[in-house]
Amino acid sequence: MTLSTHALTGAIIVSLLPNEPVVGLTVAFLSHFVLDMIPHRDYELLSLNQEAAKRGVVEMAWGRAFIWDLGRIGGDALLGLVLAVGLGFFLDGQWPLLLLGGALAGMLPDFLQFWHGLSRWRILDGLQRFHATIHTKIRLKNNLFLGVISQVGLVILLWMTRLWLS
């Protein structure tokens, strides 16, 4: 899933639990792994060592491709954060900070995965193995339309469910 999808999902989750922010943030974090179990389309990281990735290891090569990847990842994350905070305009009494926290919690596993690849921080080894194991092996990389529509549809479904529950 893209970071924007994870961010919006996390924000919607915390909006359902405004009086239980710790529970909401925890569920937003865990939602990342549930979403990654669903077949989806990711954008390809040009600086990622594909052979290492097949073993569940994130290795990035420095250079022009890495800068390009950082721009795409940053743009995706920023879009997700802006849209998540923008949800607050449609929700009475929802604090933008809570929605921002939910969005960040929803994206956090990917940032930890990225940090693990750069730092080789041993404390993150278990989380990295879990993340790689739980992630779907079915990719929609040959179908851009289905890959995009499925994620947009998922967010719309979550949003409609949120509205129905409130």
* Residue 129 confidence class, pLDDT cut points 50, 70, 90: confident
Q: What is the pLDDT of residue 52?
A: 65
Q: Residue 40's beta-bridge partner residues?
A: 139
* Residue 131 confidence class, pLDDT cut points 50, 70, 90: confident
Q: What is the pLDDT of residue 56?
A: 59
Q: What is the pLDDT of residue 107?
A: 97
Q: Residue 60's beta-bridge partner residues?
A: 48
Average pLDDT over residues 133-154: 79
93-122 per-residue burial string, b: 16 or more CB within 10 A, e: under 16: ebeeebbbbbbbbbbbbbebbbebbeeeee
CB-based contacts of 38, cutoff 8 Å, min separation 6: 1, 136, 150, 154
* Residue 66 confidence class, pLDDT cut points 50, 70, 90: confident
* pTM, two decimal places: 0.85
DSSP annotation of 141 reads T
